[in-house]
Structure 1
Amino acid sequence: MSVVTPLAQYSSMWQLLSPTTLLLLVSAGMQAGSPADLPKAVVLLDPPWVRVLEEDYVTLKCQGTYPPGNSSTQWLHNGSLISSQASSYSIKSARVEDSGEYRCQTGLTMLSDPVLLEVHIGWLLLQTTQWVFQEGDPIWLRCHSWKNRPVQKVTYLQDGKGKKYFHQNSDFHIQKATSSDNGSYFCRGLIGNNNKSSETVSIIIRDNSASPSISSVFLPWHQIIFCLVMGVLFAADTGLYYSMQRNLRSSMENWKDHKFQWNRDPQDK
């Protein structure tokens, strides 16, 4: 009958662990103990407008990673928890009190950056996906009416001057933003026989040629430390792995070559 020694069991188990596996185990342990290393969740608006009118339908979606068996999502509005734990939060008929900052978080993400939603009262609203753009970014503007009532003879204006005219209401696209697109925008048009205008919106175009800040060039200090620690651990684990392999191989050879000698006790002579 063959006997499996504890040493042989240990050797077999150790051989299953490669340096890469050890690195992943250490990495997982460090990430589990360091929430700051988790990615941030992201809040998306559907439709993508950051400005809406009363009674509009808005859905906020949380993008993030969920642990197995737990798909609950934490939602915050102006810092207060929302009862909904679904991955999407719907506002079926927007009210002014729905305005404010929205954040979300999943089981394997950090709290998202805030997304600001503005709910306005009026007949017309100039909608945009954001207020600040980089040079070369596309800009998408929409002249939105309350309850989507028909609007005709729509004009988009920049700094009080007409920029684009549509006989029937249409979205206004700027393919690539330049510094000349900076300014205050609003739209106006006819709803029935009434001439209506929206409030103004300030659009800012940032210059891509500006020198990047130090914080954008260098990694955060905790990421640098994490990378250095992981490199040291990987080197140490690799050396330990091969050292243990050599020692275990040598021990197994000695075990096989060892011969037991049976001696009689003194009283058996």
Structure 2
Amino acid sequence: MSFIMFLAAMSLIELRISGAAVRSFVTFTPNWENVFQGDSVTISCNVRSNVQFSTYSFYWYKNNEMMSINEQKFIITSAEENDSGDYQCWTGTGNPSYPARLYVHSKGSAFRPVVTFTPNWRKIFINETVVMRCDVESTAQGTQRYYWYKNMEMINKEQKLDLTIIIATKEDTGDYQCSYGTGSLSYPIRLNVNPYAPVILQAPPYIYEGDPFTLRCHSWSLYKYEIVTFFLTDNKYTQAEKHVLYIPNANTAMTGIYQCTKRLDKSLSSYRTEKDETFILIQELFSDPEIRHNGSSVGGDLTLTCVTRLNPVKATLGLQFAFYRNLWMLQDFSVSDTYRVPSAQLEDSGNYTCDVRTYGCSVRKTSNMLSIQIEELFSYPEIKMDLDTIHEGDDMTLTCGTTLTPLRDTTELEFAFYRDGRNVQEFSVSDTYRVPSAQLEDSGNYTCDVRTSTDSVRKRSNVLYIQIHIKHVVYFPLLELFSYPEIKMDLDTIYEGDNMTLTCDTTRAPLRDTTELEFAFYRDGRNVQEFSVSDTYRVPSAQLEDSGNYTCVVRTITGRHESQQAAIKDIAPLMREV
């Protein structure tokens, strides 16, 4: 069913918001009319009103034929030439959108000629004059021939730089293109010739962000006018007694439906108000930038790229790029769209953005924010010793411990060891340092370094103080094998003829209570009983000459552990005369 037939079958209700009729308009993302084959394009139906999108129904048409799409937007994932055409949407209320023309081109030369109009209006009245020019690079101008096309068909056999329409007619409406020599066709530019309306709103064929542009509320010369008013949806611009509106700097937010009203005076007593409206697309010079990175860990190369797409019509436009981390500039504006950190470190982590601008700085855009965390390639090393205490002559082993990140666990590391800042073992794949027989001079503050084989990352351990101790000869006290002996007599007083018995009393150590001992007895230093296992000395019938100072000595059988002699005790005269 055609668009016109569908509208005729519907009962149209004009919805008015804030006193103005609601009219949808179509936009493209990226925000330009010319795309290449294979490009992705999002086509959206926009409505400027206070009503939520969810309350609308959406109907889509291409070249006046209904499409089987009922969403607010849809995506052409890979554009083909047959996707070219006029797209319109309708919300079921108000008026349908104006056609938005999408041109899909095969990828040819980056340079294409550009068609310009003089005067620079895309809509004119019949009988007016317009001059079209095929602009090419200055280096390409010469004796080459120019070719002109209307709606993809060749016209104008004269093959000149300019194509002039002296007296425009309705039939001159169409898409115009040119080519130069054997080069590529220019992008199309549309001319609309209006034969009937008393007032037309004129705008340039193409308007790009950053451009100054002029709108003209144009009427037939036979009318005089007094008041001209311009509208952009809810924005109102009024310029009394003038028919133009000058806007010094276009931006994409100005895309929308413009309207102008004009009071026309036929005579002193007769006037009427006429209006016209048109959809104006403010095209992007380049898309919003996106910052991307290759991912990095400590020591790896970090590469950031500021990605943007140029409007195909502006393919030769020069851009400049700048990069920031945490809002601090890292790389000033230049033609390079990349920023490189040859050996990223932890301190390179942060929030990154990039800016893109034109050479004249008329347009500048900031990317999304990209948070980058530089991953630690390996942990800070910790130096350890295998023993708690080291003495002279001990074997000492130090270990430099670290852990690789799981994603880079095959990275080869090298280790070096230092004492008091001086290298004691050069970098190698061994994470240990050994001292076979430590000496006092091996004492000191030890550290170790870990690095990658390329030395792109190097880390130092904590400080470990090691004291080599003197190895003392330790004398353990000998346990007493038996106690010092004590000599005892069985009687307090001895008389001549009494039996006298002396005992050499000692106590063995508990763990050596089976040790065999020998005993000897002395009187006044003279032996009276040789060593034997008997600990007693008997005098059967004591005589006066048996009086004296008695001692005893105890020893082991081997004689190796002879005890000290007991203190000599004065024994009272053991006998009395009878």
Against the structure 1 CA distance between its residues 103 and 157, is the aligned structure 2 distance closer, same or farther, given a 3 Å change threshold? same
Contact in 1 for aligned 2:132/2:164 (Cα 8 Å)? yes
Alpha-carbon distance in structure 2 between the residues aligned to 1:205 and 1:66: 28
Residues 200-209 or 90-99, more deviating: 200-209
Residue 101 in structure 1 maps to residue 202 in structure 2: no
CA deviations 1:116-155 (Å, max 9, x no partner) are 1111231111111146532x43231111113474322111
The one-letter amino acid paired with 2:168 is A
Identity %: 25
What's the RMSD between the two structures over aligned residues?
A: 3.1
2:249 — aligned with what?
A: 176
Structure-2 change in CA distance of 1:91 and 1:79 (3 Å): same
* Secondary structure in 1 matching 2:277: coil
- Structure 2 CA distance for partners of 1:106 and 1:182, relative to 1, 3 Å: closer
Counterpart Cα distance in 1 of 2:110 and 2:248: 35
Which structure features the higher share of helix residues? 1
One-letter amino acid of the counterpart of residue 113, structure 1: Y
Q: Does residue 1:45 correspond to 2:117, yes or no?
A: yes
Letter in 2 for 1:196: E
Count of residues paired in the alignment: 180
Whether the aligned pair in 2 keeps the contact of 1:38 and 1:110 (CA below 8 Å) is: no
More strand by share: 2
**Which of 246, 268, 273 is the aligned partner of 1:195?**
273
User: Is the contact made by 1:126 and 1:186 (CA closer than 8 Å) also made in structure 2?
Assistant: yes
Shift in Å, 1:210: 1.9
Match of 1:126 in 2: 201
Q: TM-score, normalised by structure 1?
A: 0.57
Amino acid in the other structure paired with 2:198:
W
Instruction: Please say if residues 149 and 191 of structure 1, whose CA atoms lie closer than 8 Å, have aligned partners that are also in contact.
Output: yes
Q: Would you say 1:88 and 2:162 are equivalent positions?
A: yes
Structure 1 residue corresponding to 2:218, chosen from 144, 149, 152:
144
Give the aligned partner of residue 23 of structure 1.
none
1:57 equivalent to 2:57? Answer no
Compared with structure 1, are the counterparts of its residues 207 and 194 closer, same or farther at alpha carbon in structure 2 (3 Å cutoff)?
Answer: same
Length-normalised TM-score, structure 2: 0.28
- Contact 1:181–1:205, Cα closer than 8 Å, also in 2: no
The structure-2 alpha-carbon separation of the partners of 1:207 and 1:81, relative to structure 1 and needing over 3 Å to count, comes to: closer
Instruction: Give the 3 Å change call, closer, same or farther, for CA 107–215 of structure 1 in structure 2.
Output: same
Q: Residues 53 and 85 of structure 1: is their aligned pair in 2 closer, same or farther, counting only changes over 3 Å?
A: same
Which residue does 2:229 correspond to in 1?
155
| CA spacing shift, 1:133–1:71, aligned 2, 3 Å | closer
Query: Do the aligned partners of residues 132 and 48 (structure 1) sit closer, same or farther apart at CA in structure 2, a change above 3 Å counting?
Result: closer
Q: 1:108 to 1:147 in 2, by over 3 A?
A: farther
Q: Which residue of 1 aligns with 2:341?
A: none
Runs of 5+ unmatched residues, structure 1: 1-35, 221-269
Q: Larger Rg: 1 or 2?
A: 2
Answer yes or no: is the 8 Å Cα contact 1:125–1:143 preserved in 2: yes
Q: SS state of the match for residue 97, structure 1?
A: helix
- Which structure exhibits the higher relative contact order, with contacts defined as CA atoms closer than 8 Å and separated by 6 or more residues? 1
Asked if 2 retains the 8 angstrom alpha-carbon contact of 1:126 and 1:199, the reply is yes
Q: Unaligned stretches of 5+ in structure 2?
A: 1-107, 266-270, 291-306, 316-578
2:111 partner amino acid: P
| Pair 1:188–1:85, CA change in 2 (3 A) | same
CA contact (8 A) 1:77 1:102 kept: yes
